[in-house]
C-alpha cells in the first residue's frame, strides 16, 4: 500500500506517529548530547580547579624563590590550601611527584608518602605511572582509569586531568566520575523520553481526534454529495467550524443552493416547454385532421384527373384520327386543285377559242 492510497485520516495518524518517533529520537539524541556536554562541563571545571591549584603552588613557590620561606614551608602551605579545595560537593585535588609517590591526598591521607608506581586499578592499569607519563609527554592531559568513590570500596570509571608543576616536580590532578555523568545523562534522557512520550501521546490523541472529526465531517459531506448525485438537493450541508474544511463545506452548501435554484428554473422552463409542446401537439392533431381531409380531396382530384386523363387520351386518339382524315382531305384537295387547274386551263382554252370564234364571227359579220 502506497502513501497516495491512504485516506487523509490515516495520513494524519501516520504524521502524528512520525512526529512521536521524531520526538523520541530527538530525546535520545539529546540524552547523548547531554552526556557529552555534561562530561565536558565537568572536565572544564576539573581543569579550572587544577589550574587554580597550580596558581596556589606558583604563589608559594614564588615565596620560596624570594627567600621568605623554605621549600618545605612553602610546599606545606601550598598543600594545606590544595587539600582544602572542594568542588561539585566532594571532588578534590591530589598531588604526587614524578616518581609516582603520593605527596597529598585529602580523601585518603594514608596514601601520603607511599610509592604508588605499582598501584593498579582492576583493569591492570598503573594509573599513577600513567599520570607521570602524561605530564612528561604533554605537560597536561586526561587519563582514564578505575578508582573508588569517597566512602566506597568498589572502583568505578573515572577521568582525571593532570598537570605538572616543574619547580617542585609535582603532578597535580583531579578527576570526574564518569558514571555520575552517565547517570545524570541517563536521568536527563529518561526525563526527555518521558516528555517525548507524553508529547507524542498528546500529538497522537490530538491527531486521533482530528482524524475522527475529519472523517465525520467528510462522511457528512460525502453523504450530501451522493444525495445530490442521485437528484436529492434537499439535504443541507453542515459546515461546522469556520476552518478550511468548514469553508469547503460552506462552498458545497452554496453550490447545493445554486443547483437547487438552477433546477427550479429548469423545471419552470420545462413546464413552459411542456405547455408549448401540448399546444404544438394539439396543432399537429388539427393539422393531421386537415391533412386527412386534404388527402381525401386529393384522392377525389386524382380520380377526376384520371378521368380527365382518359378524356385527354380519347381526345388525343380523336385528334390522331382527325389528323389522318385531314391528311387525306389535303391529298384530295390537292388533287381537286390540280383538276381545277386543268379546268381553268381548259376554260382559258375555251375562252381563247370563243374569242377566236367571235373574231371569226366578227369577220364574217363584217
Strands annotated E in the chain = 94-97, 102-104, 140-148, 155-165, 170-177
Q: How many CA atoms lie within 13 A of 194 on its CB side?
A: 6
- What pLDDT was estimated at residue 143? 95
Q: How far is CA 294 from CA 34, 288, 289, in A?
A: 110, 10, 9
Query: Mean pLDDT, consecutive 10-residue segments, the chain of 366 residues?
Result: 63 75 74 70 91 96 94 95 89 94 93 93 92 95 88 86 96 89 74 80 78 74 74 68 68 73 76 75 75 72 66 59 60 62 70 72 72
The set of cell numbers assigned to 218 is 467528510
Return the ∠ at Cα 249 (arms to 244 and 254), rounded to 5°: 125
By the 8 A CB rule, do 49 and 87 touch? yes
Residue identified by cell 608543576 is: 165
Quote the pLDDT of residue 126: 94
Integer Rg of the chain from CA: 70
For 90-108, the pLDDT digits (tens) are 889 999 999 999 999 998 8
Cα 240 to Cα 202, 222, 236, 247: the distances in Å are: 24, 15, 12, 9
Residue 127 pLDDT? 92
Amino acid at each position: 500500500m502506497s502513501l497516495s492510497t491512504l485516506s487523509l485520516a490515516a495520513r494524519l495518524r501516520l504524521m502524528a506517529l512520525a512526529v512521536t518517533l521524531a520526538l523520541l529520537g530527538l530525546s535520545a539524541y539529546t540524552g547523548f548530547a547531554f552526556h557529552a556536554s555534561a562530561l565536558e562541563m565537568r572536565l572544564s571545571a576539573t581543569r579550572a580547579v587544577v589550574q587554580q591549584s597550580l596558581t596556589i603552588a606558583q604563589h608559594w613557590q614564588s615565596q620560596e624563590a624570594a627567600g621568605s620561606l623554605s621549600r618545605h614551608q612553602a610546599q606545606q602551605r601550598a598543600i594545606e590550601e590544595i587539600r582544602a579545595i572542594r568542588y561539585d560537593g566532594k571532588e578534590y585535588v591530589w598531588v604526587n611527584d614524578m616518581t609516582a609517590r603520593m605527596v597529598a591526598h585529602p580523601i585518603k591521607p594514608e596514601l601520603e608518602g607511599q610509592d604508588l608506581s605499582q598501584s593498579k586499578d582492576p583493569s591492570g592499569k598503573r594509573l599513577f605511572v600513567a599520570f607521570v607519563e602524561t605530564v612528561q609527554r604533554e605537560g597536561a592531559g586526561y587519563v582514564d582509569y578505575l578508582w573508588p568513590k569517597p566512602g566506597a570500596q568498589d572502583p568505578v570509571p573515572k577521568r582525571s586531568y593532570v598537570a605538572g608543576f616543574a619547580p617542585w616536580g609535582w603532578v597535580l590532578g583531579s578527576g570526574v566520575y564518569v558514571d555520575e555523568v552517565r547517570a545524570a545523562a541517563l536521568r536527563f534522557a529518561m526525563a526527555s523520553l518521558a516528555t517525548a512520550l507524553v508529547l507524542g501521546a498528546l500529538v497522537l490523541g490530538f491527531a486521533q481526534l482530528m482524524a475522527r472529526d475529519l472523517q465525520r465531517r467528510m462522511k457528512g459531506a460525502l453523504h450530501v454529495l451522493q444525495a445530490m448525485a442521485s437528484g436529492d438537493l434537499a439535504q443541507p450541508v453542515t459546515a461546522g467550524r469556520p476552518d478550511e474544511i468548514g469553508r469547503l463545506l460552506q462552498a458545497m452548501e452554496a453550490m447545493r443552493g445554486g443547483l437547487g435554484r438552477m433546477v427550479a428554473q429548469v423545471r419552470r422552463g420545462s413546464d413552459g416547454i411542456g405547455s408549448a409542446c401540448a399546444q404544438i401537439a394539439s396543432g399537429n392533431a388539427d393539422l393531421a385532421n386537415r391533412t386527412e381531409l386534404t388527402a381525401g380531396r386529393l384522392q377525389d382530384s386524382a380520380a377526376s384527373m384520371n378521368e380527365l386523363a382518359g378524356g385527354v387520351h380519347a381526345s388525343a386518339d380523336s385528334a390522331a384520327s382527325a389528323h389522318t382524315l385531314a391528311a387525306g382531305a389535303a391529298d384530295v384537295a390537292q388533287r381537286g386543285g390540280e383538276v381545277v387547274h386543268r379546268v381553268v386551263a381548259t376554260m382559258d382554252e375555251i375562252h381563247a377559242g370563243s374569242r377566236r370564234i367571235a373574231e371569226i364571227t366578227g369577220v364574217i359579220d363584217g
